[in-house]
Structure 1
Amino acid sequence: MLDGLTARPVLAAVVLFVTYPIFNIIYNIFFHPLAKIPGPWSWGCSRFPFIHALIKGTIVHDIEKLHRKYGPVLRIAPDEVTFAKAEAWNDIFQLRQDHQQFLKDPVWWKAQPGQPDSLLSAINPDMHARIRKLLVPGFTPRALRAQEPIVQRYVNLLVERLTERVADLGKESKGKQVEMDIAPWFQYATFDIFGDLGFGESFDCLEHSRYHPWIELLFNSVKAAAFVISARFYPLVDGLLMKCIPPSLKKMQSDHFQQIVDKVQRRLNWELERPDLMSHVIEVSKSNEGLPIGVINSTFAILTTAGSETTATALCGTLNYLVAQPITLAILVKEIRDAFPSGDNMTLDALKDLPYLNAVLNEGLRLCPPIPWVLPRRVPVGGDTVCGVWLPGGTPVSIQQWTLNRDPTYFHSSLSFCPERWLPEASSNPKSEFFNDQRQAINPFSVGPRNCMGQHLAWAEMRLILSKLLWNFDFESIEGKTFKWEELRTFLLVEKKPMEVRINVRPA
């Protein structure tokens, strides 16, 4: 009798263990508040397909295929919805009258245990506003004008180093056409620029024509971050994962962060005044309005990546399309070389006025968004509507820029690289094939109170780097060594492939 009594709880536990997943799947498919949102049942009943795509790096491509099949409003997990509609920008990211703010999803945005908040990880709007207020003076157009000599210095150094590299490769190839991987050079330049503007010292990537160890470790950790995020969907797994991290890896992460801490400290102790991103932080830190040093350290560690890798991605993608379309490339080269008799008088203000340059970069940002998937926010308590669809409070919602930017209902020849769609006549002439393009759907720097405050610097770098390269060098694609941007995997950043091009110094 005692054995029977003992066996009943065990049997009940086994039955519960076996049946609970089944009942959970049935609930998610038929009775969940999101059950009526279009999407494949496999993604709607379990988080596993989402995690599988995230870890593989195919998530934006997989979701694009699902959007094409199920429409612009898509259920991608039992409790999550993503959008590929222009209206979602306003509904999710803007402050709407009589609506609560959609806050960042902690699964994606919260700081690592033991780390202070940063500009990106601060979920509380008041804390975010406080950090942003301190930083924004260094990112205004006025600040950029004072920072231009620093930006010019590193772009000129990029040209100098590339010229030397082409000469060296020319000697090695014994007269054959020079071929090289251009992709790392964009990152050398953008990381060096931000290093100088942020800390008063570059990463010396251009000086040594190689990545700084800090940057190499950053790129190597991107895939691991996908696993960390995946574990956060399961708190027990997340807790176990954190406990299983080897001490050697924890020390490596600590040392990696400490390098930024040291750079920040050196800049804070530098008595020389200069017009960089840290100058206002230093000024305010002398008063009671300053931020804790931990917040400053974390913020500049994040900004170093956000302010460098994304710009390099956009430039790499744009040039990849240009070399594949020689006619488009020739039009842009002519505009730049006609506008500037010498590369030395190429200023940021003058570059703003080149219509085809701006059109090319806008088209590059459309097809190669550095952030292909705008990470989730949470629907506020009590529920709210996005694109006319009511969603319960707590639902993670996101925007698929990759899908939206390629939507044929928004753009004519949506998969083709066509800078002409961004020229003034495209929107003013009803006879233009691009007249009905929905250009307002493209927001590579996001919108609302958390939009990218570094967009003026990013535009300046993109215009100047691309123009200087095309003024000084001739580029061609190499048959058999090209790749399609759509083939690249996306983790938290876009994974790069070698971008082999044929490059020659422009004849004098």
Structure 2
Amino acid sequence: MASAQLNSAFETLLAGISLDFLPGPTTWAMSRGPCEISNVRGRILKDIARLHEKYGEVVRVGPDAVIFNNPDAWGEIYAHKPGKGVFPKDPLRHTRELWIHGAPDVFTAEDTDHPRLRRLINPAFSSKALREQEPLIQANVNLLITRLQEQMGSDSTGVVDMNEWINWTTFDLIGDLAFGETFDCLKTGGYHPWVALICSSIKTVSILGSIKQWPWIEAVWQFLIGGIMIRAMRQFHQLVIEKVDRRLSRAKGRNDFLQSILDHKDTEKSMTQDELYSNAALLVMAGTETSATTLAGTIYHLARNQQVLLPLQDELRATFKSEDEMTFKTVSDIPNLLAALHESMRMYPSVAVTNPRRVPKGGASVIGKWLPENTTVGTYQWVVYNSSTNFRDPGTFDPSRWQGNPYYENDRREIFKPFSVGPKSCPQLLVMHGWMDFADYSLNRLAYAEMQLILVKLIWKFDILLADEKNVWTDQKVHWSWMRVPLMIKLKERKGSLSK
């Protein structure tokens, strides 16, 4: 153990010497401390933004860590390069706490397992599967609308916390699709204990990633509260196992995620039972937080920018005569809605932080900067999307920047990769052709279909206003995901068009 730690320290020292030519604050270059303290405080995005503003597109943020604000860096760090492989994920940042009985999930699996797991999971998110899953998704979205209508009747102010309602909807949806049963959040108007456990664990896992930088601090952490964390994770694992087993005991024929995976279970390279558990756990964790964040952010930005919302609302109300006309196919062909969705993802990406990688053995060049092996590299999505280097007037919510507005012709749109890139890009959002411009994304995938359907029905059914126009809802801390706070929205059931 001592020898391994000594070798690690020596490698870090050598990497540090070879990174001395890169700009960055001296205190950050000397130690991982400033960066990790910023991460634990939840203010890493603002700190990184200031560093890029001061030092440029390449900044050294640790003895062996470098971050980039450049479109070409995306491909060189994250995309598969023929004959060169990929930059491996930083093991200190990619937790395996979700693994059940040591079985890998598709997001954190080693390169030997990842292609097989992805091939087995892909059919669950195909166009065919999506068509078969639509009735389940429609039922949950319709329940959301019904419950909001009931809320309007019981609360004369018409003010609701849309962050909660969107959270409940996405959890019920993923429960229905992953386990064949919802969490009943929408029915009860509250959090299932399991849902609350998942939400609280995100911050813990993020902080643990920082603590792992120093083994002795991690040891103290584990001694003081590690037992609590382990018990909570075991409880989560047991709940996943019980739900998966209950789903497996039912008859085949239900059009959900597990059925699509089970259809390939008897093949030579099928998933083991434990891999099925681990990937079900991943679907719940990743499949709820990302969609809920994007939906809440889009609702906020539209409510805050009525000059965008009202024309879109009129368009939807003119297009659809009833909710029955709103299907995956019909809601996917609304360019103004898609542009608003992408503008919201630019200003408030669901995964705002970096997805750190390690420079492979032998070293590598990133945008012309030679870096030694084991250097940690990455890009902070929120920072690059809200940088004036890449987007004109980055603080302005203007969907027309995605629709050919010449005012934004110099925007570096190629840097916009909200679902990451490469072979291990975000599995829940299912943009399987990750290294593409956003316009090439397949719109018949689960995340887009789900989000577009929810937004169309909400905007068509309700007039939407901020309850407090002075509140900047997006000013939040971040621990891997945003620490979302209540989003108080004033809803008024449709009585006619607003803009005349």
- The TM-score, its normalising length taken from structure 2, stands at 0.90
Deviations 1:344-401 (A, max 9, x none): 2101111121110000001011111000123211110000011221111111111111
Which residue of the partner structure matches residue 476 of structure 2? 488
**How many angstroms apart in 2 are the aligned matches of 1:373 and 1:236?**
26
1:97 to 61, 64, 82: 82
1:372 to 343, 352, 371: 352
Match status 1:461 vs 2:446: no
1:111 to 90, 96, 99: 96
Match status 1:470 vs 2:453: no
**How many angstroms apart in 2 are the aligned matches of 1:250 and 1:55?**
20
The aligned runs of 1:245-284 (5 Å cut-off) are 245=225, 247=227, 249-284=229-264
Deviations 1:290-336 (A, max 9, x none): 22222221221122121111111011111111111111110111121
The aligned runs of 1:382-401 (5 Å cut-off) are 382-401=362-381
Query: How far has the Cα of 1:28 moved from its partner?
Result: 6.4
Match status 1:201 vs 2:170: no
Distance 1:296 1:242, change over 3 A: farther
Query: How far has the Cα of 1:215 moved from its partner?
Result: 1.2
Match status 1:75 vs 2:63: no
Q: Secondary structure at the match of 1:100?
A: coil
> Is residue 32–residue 63 contact of structure 2 (8 Å, CA) maintained in 1?
yes
Which residue of the partner structure matches residue 35 of structure 1? 20
More displaced 10-residue stretch of structure 1: 219-228 or 80-89 = 219-228
Distance 1:501 1:280, change over 3 A: closer
> Is residue 488–residue 497 contact of structure 1 (8 Å, CA) maintained in 2?
yes
Query: How far has the Cα of 1:415 moved from its partner?
Result: 1.4
Q: Secondary structure at the match of 2:77?
A: helix
Distance 1:30 1:242, change over 3 A: closer
> Is residue 16–residue 64 contact of structure 2 (8 Å, CA) maintained in 1?
no
Distance 1:246 1:30, change over 3 A: closer
**How many angstroms apart in 1 are the aligned matches of 2:32 and 2:132?**
49
The aligned runs of 1:326-365 (5 Å cut-off) are 326-365=306-345
Query: How far has the Cα of 1:136 moved from its partner?
Result: 0.6
What amino acid is the match of 1:323?
A
> Is residue 352–residue 480 contact of structure 2 (8 Å, CA) maintained in 1?
no
Q: How many residues are matched?
A: 471
The aligned runs of 1:127-142 (5 Å cut-off) are 127-142=113-128
More displaced 10-residue stretch of structure 1: 152-161 or 100-109 = 100-109
Which residue of the partner structure matches residue 6 of structure 1? none
Distance 1:283 1:434, change over 3 A: same
Q: Secondary structure at the match of 1:285?
A: coil
> Is residue 323–residue 475 contact of structure 1 (8 Å, CA) maintained in 2?
yes
Query: How far has the Cα of 1:246 moved from its partner?
Result: 5.8
Query: How far has the Cα of 1:240 moved from its partner?
Result: 4.3
Q: Where in structure 1 are there 5+ consecutive unaligned residues? A: 1-19, 171-176, 427-431
Q: Secondary structure at the match of 1:375?
A: coil
**How many angstroms apart in 2 are the aligned matches of 1:231 and 1:218?**
20
Query: How far has the Cα of 1:247 moved from its partner?
Result: 4.3
**How many angstroms apart in 1 are the aligned matches of 2:365 and 2:35?**
23
Distance 1:449 1:476, change over 3 A: same
Distance 1:208 1:169, change over 3 A: same
Q: Secondary structure at the match of 2:370?
A: strand
What amino acid is the match of 1:496?
R
More displaced 10-residue stretch of structure 1: 245-254 or 256-265 = 245-254
Which residue of the partner structure matches residue 157 of structure 1? 143
Which residue of the partner structure matches residue 438 of structure 2? none
**How many angstroms apart in 1 are the aligned matches of 2:232 and 2:492?**
40
Distance 1:73 1:505, change over 3 A: same
**How many angstroms apart in 2 are the aligned matches of 1:247 and 1:56?**
23
**How many angstroms apart in 1 are the aligned matches of 2:39 and 2:207?**
8
The aligned runs of 1:173-192 (5 Å cut-off) are 177-192=157-172
More displaced 10-residue stretch of structure 1: 103-112 or 367-376 = 103-112
Which residue of the partner structure matches residue 494 of structure 2? 506
Distance 1:125 1:400, change over 3 A: same
Query: How far has the Cα of 1:35 moved from its partner?
Result: 1.4
Match status 1:437 vs 2:411: yes
What amino acid is the match of 1:279?
Q
**How many angstroms apart in 2 are the aligned matches of 1:444 and 1:415?**
17
Match status 1:227 vs 2:185: no
Q: Secondary structure at the match of 2:324?
A: helix
Query: How far has the Cα of 1:253 moved from its partner?
Result: 2.4
Query: How far has the Cα of 1:280 moved from its partner?
Result: 2.6
> Is residue 144–residue 457 contact of structure 1 (8 Å, CA) maintained in 2?
yes
**How many angstroms apart in 2 are the aligned matches of 1:197 and 1:231?**
35
**How many angstroms apart in 2 are the aligned matches of 1:30 and 1:448?**
26
2:468 to 479, 483, 500: 479
What amino acid is the match of 2:446?
L
Match status 1:167 vs 2:153: yes
Which residue of the partner structure matches residue 4 of structure 1? none
Percent identical: 34
Which residue of the partner structure matches residue 322 of structure 1? 302
What amino acid is the match of 1:367?
M
What amino acid is the match of 1:275?
N
What amino acid is the match of 2:451?
M
Distance 1:232 1:249, change over 3 A: closer
Deviations 1:40-98 (A, max 9, x none): 11111011111111111001111111111111111111111111211111101111134
> Is residue 320–residue 326 contact of structure 2 (8 Å, CA) maintained in 1?
yes
For the pair shown, which has the larger CA radius of gyration, 1 or 2? 1
> Is residue 123–residue 261 contact of structure 2 (8 Å, CA) maintained in 1?
no
**How many angstroms apart in 2 are the aligned matches of 1:37 and 1:246?**
38
> Is residue 194–residue 308 contact of structure 1 (8 Å, CA) maintained in 2?
yes
**How many angstroms apart in 1 are the aligned matches of 2:237 and 2:136?**
25
- The TM-score, its normalising length taken from structure 1, stands at 0.88
Aligned-residue Cα RMSD (Å) equals: 2.1
> Is residue 134–residue 284 contact of structure 1 (8 Å, CA) maintained in 2?
yes
**How many angstroms apart in 2 are the aligned matches of 1:30 and 1:149?**
54
Query: How far has the Cα of 1:285 moved from its partner?
Result: 2.1
> Is residue 84–residue 399 contact of structure 1 (8 Å, CA) maintained in 2?
yes
Q: Where in structure 2 are there 5+ consecutive unaligned residues? A: 1-5, 430-444
**How many angstroms apart in 2 are the aligned matches of 1:182 and 1:223?**
21
Distance 1:397 1:325, change over 3 A: same
**How many angstroms apart in 2 are the aligned matches of 1:266 and 1:318?**
36
